[in-house]
Chains A and B, each alone.
Chain A
Amino acid sequence: MRLAQHMAVASPRITAECIEATEFPELSQRYRVMAVPKIVINDRVQFEGALPEPQFLSKVLEAVNGGQAEG
């Protein structure tokens, strides 16, 4: 969540939602959360586990630049 919330402050375009998975089982099921942290960007790019900042940024850009939907 740290990178996501710093990115939210850096850009007015970005919203960062930290979701407690066990409290929202329907959301977790919808996004197929099997392990945490799981990150879903614009409902189309997703990954599990913490990523270094440059790789995280790549995922964000992939999500807005026509990245393929997964899952």
Chain B
Amino acid sequence: MASLSAQDEQAVRNELAKLTGPVKLTVFASELGPETNGQTVALVKEVAALSDKLSVEILNPFIDKERAAAYGVEVTPAVVVEGAEDYGIRFLGLPGGYEFANLIDSILVASSATPRLSEATQTALAGLQSDVTIKVFTTPT
């Protein structure tokens, strides 16, 4: 079943037309997990089909344990968004509803490697001396 309506699909296609560099979406999902695993795989595949700059890899964390550990993925479904490098962008759970727009935005910024942040913010972040993990809890609606 298609996750995106024809209207959404066109809107996403228009956004993805802005992609400058390739983006890889790595999905960790398990058939033994909740139904959101399969839904996430389907959604990400649908999105990836809308741009030739996008590629998808589907992994099972119970089989591909080393890859999951390397990405720091401990739960499913999980989506890793990578551009020229792994910038550390992760979506845990189905990136649908309200978060879908952020998934698309993350693809765009990973592709361009050009964050839309002020000079002051970027200067401050460049001076970070230790690692930072930002967890953002959301709901679909």
Contacts and interface: CB of A to CB of B under 8 A. Distances in A.
Contacts, number: 169
Interface residues of B, number: 46
Interface residues of A, number: 43
B16 to A, nearest CB: 16
Interface string B57-94: 00000000000000010010000010100011111111
Contacts of B88: 8, 12, 14-16
A2 B138 CA distance: 12
A18 B139 contact: no
Contacts of B138: 1, 18-21, 36-37
Given A2-B102, A5-B105, A63 B121 contact: no
Interface of B: 34, 36, 72, 75, 81, 83, 87-95, 99, 102, 105-106, 109-110, 113-118, 120-122, 124-126, 128-140
